[in-house]
């Protein structure tokens, strides 16, 4: 029987009205963290209260992507941790836990223990959505979320490449085995539009994301283009979706509307 993260007696949060979205991928480099960060910003721009946990505890990249690498979390009343706010999103990442506070507050480098602390010892306030950026693959963290957090709904990010789809499918199968809801598949880096024409170039192949969603019998949530601006954005820590009305903002909005 899966446990509820809601109402844990030791928790600062009750997450009564919070939808937990766990974003996973088969392998690394498919843009899962970039997609998670931009989905969070888009949901926030749409008026929701959004939190984001970088559950890729060892391989964190959210601080870089969201431009908060230099920021430190604050601790009030000696033990209550306040997440960092960026573009309206509350963010918690191991990448921001450096310096003195680390030894005091973050005992035990046991990954699921750290994740549990992110859920219970960070003061999130009222959240509509809590996004978890998972490490790639079918390792400990995705498995323990599937087994232990009954509210978690999964989103699977893949690229159109056959190799990416194959490993992403294994994550989907694992979710099914643990009776975890999969909201759908998002295909990232789907196509490229060059500067000189309006044609969509399907560099990595096409249709694999949709094929994966069919095989897993879940929704296909949309295609995100391969854009130089997205890569530059995450290198600079600037979120490309901060303008909801931009072209890419609208792509993310359409995906978000299928999730909410």
| 3-class DSSP state of 143 | helix
Nearest to 247 by CA among 225, 222, 232, 228: 225
Convert 152-191 into a string of H (helix), E (strand) and C (coil): CEEEEEECCCHHHHHHHHHHHHHHHHCCCEEEEEEEEEEE
Instruction: Answer yes or no whether residue 226 interacts with ligand ADP by CB under 6 A.
Output: yes
H-helix or E-strand spanning residue 22: strand 19-25
Contact flags string 60-79 toward ligand ADP, x per CB under 6 A: -x------------------
Instruction: Answer yes or no whether residue 29 interacts with ligand ADP by CB under 6 A.
Output: yes
Instruction: Answer yes or no whether residue 209 interacts with ligand ADP by CB under 6 A.
Output: no
In the numeric block, which tokens belong to residue 75? Answer: 């601790």
CB-based closest residue to ligand ADP:
31
Q: Determine whether the annotation assigns residue 59 to a binding site.
A: no
The Cα–Cα gap between 214 and 208 comes to 10
Contact flags string 179-208 toward ligand ADP, x per CB under 6 A: ---------xx-------------------
Q: Are 213 and 220 in contact (CB under 8 A)?
A: yes
**Minimum CB distance to ligand ADP, residue 235 (Å):** 6
The Cα–Cα gap between 4 and 64 comes to 31
Surface-to-core class of residue 178, CB atoms within 10 Å of its CB (0-12 exposed, 13-18 middle, 19+ buried): middle
Convert 208-258 into a string of H (helix), E (strand) and C (coil): HHHHHHHHHCCEEEEEEEECHHHHHHHHHCCCCCCCCCCHHHHHHHHHHHH
Q: Determine whether the annotation assigns residue 85 to a binding site.
A: no
Instruction: Answer yes or no whether residue 227 interacts with ligand ADP by CB under 6 A.
Output: yes
Q: Which stretch binds ligand ADP (CB under 6 A): 23-31, 69-77, 90-98, 142-150?
A: 23-31
**Minimum CB distance to ligand ADP, residue 60 (Å):** 10
Q: Determine whether the annotation assigns residue 149 to a binding site.
A: no
Instruction: Answer yes or no whether residue 34 interacts with ligand ADP by CB under 6 A.
Output: yes
Closer to ligand ADP by CB, 32 or 169: give it: 32
Q: Determine whether the annotation assigns residue 185 to a binding site.
A: no
Interface size with ligand ADP, residues (CB under 6 A): 17
**Minimum CB distance to ligand ADP, residue 32 (Å):** 4
Q: Determine whether the annotation assigns residue 249 to a binding site.
A: no
- Interface with ligand ADP (CB under 6 A): 25, 28-34, 61, 188-189, 224, 226-227, 230-231, 234
């Amino acid at each position: 029987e899966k446990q509820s993260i809601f109402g844990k007696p030791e928790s600062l949060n009750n997450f009564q009205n919070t939808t937990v979205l766990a974003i996973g991928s088969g392998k690394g480099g498919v843009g899962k963290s970039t997609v998670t960060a931009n989905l969070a910003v888009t949901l926030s721009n749409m008026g929701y209260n959004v939190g984001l946990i970088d559950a890729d505890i060892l391989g964190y990249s959210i601080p870089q992507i969201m431009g908060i690498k230099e920021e430190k979390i604050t601790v009030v009343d000696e033990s209550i941790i306040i997440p960092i706010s960026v573009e309206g999103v509350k963010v918690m990442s191991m990448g921001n836990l450096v310096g003195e506070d680390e030894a005091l507050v973050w005992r035990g480098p046991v990954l699921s223990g750290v994740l549990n602390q992110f859920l219970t010892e960070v003061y999130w306030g009222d959240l509509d959505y809590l996004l978890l950026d998972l490490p790639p693959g079918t390792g400990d963290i995705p498995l323990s979320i599937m087994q232990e957090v009954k509210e978690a709904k999964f989103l699977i990010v893949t690229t159109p490449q056959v190799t990416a789809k194959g490993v992403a499918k294994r994550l989907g199968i694992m979710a099914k085995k643990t009776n975890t809801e999969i909201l759908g598949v998002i295909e990232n880096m789907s196509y490229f539009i060059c500067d000189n024409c309006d044609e969509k170039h399907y560099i990595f192949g096409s249709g694999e994301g949709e094929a994966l969603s069919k095989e897993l019998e879940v929704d296909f949530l949309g295609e995100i283009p391969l854009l130089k601006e997205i890569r530059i954005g995450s290198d600079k820590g600037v979120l490309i979706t901060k303008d909801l009305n931009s072209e890419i903002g609208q792509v993310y909005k359409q995906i978000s509307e299928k999730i909410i």
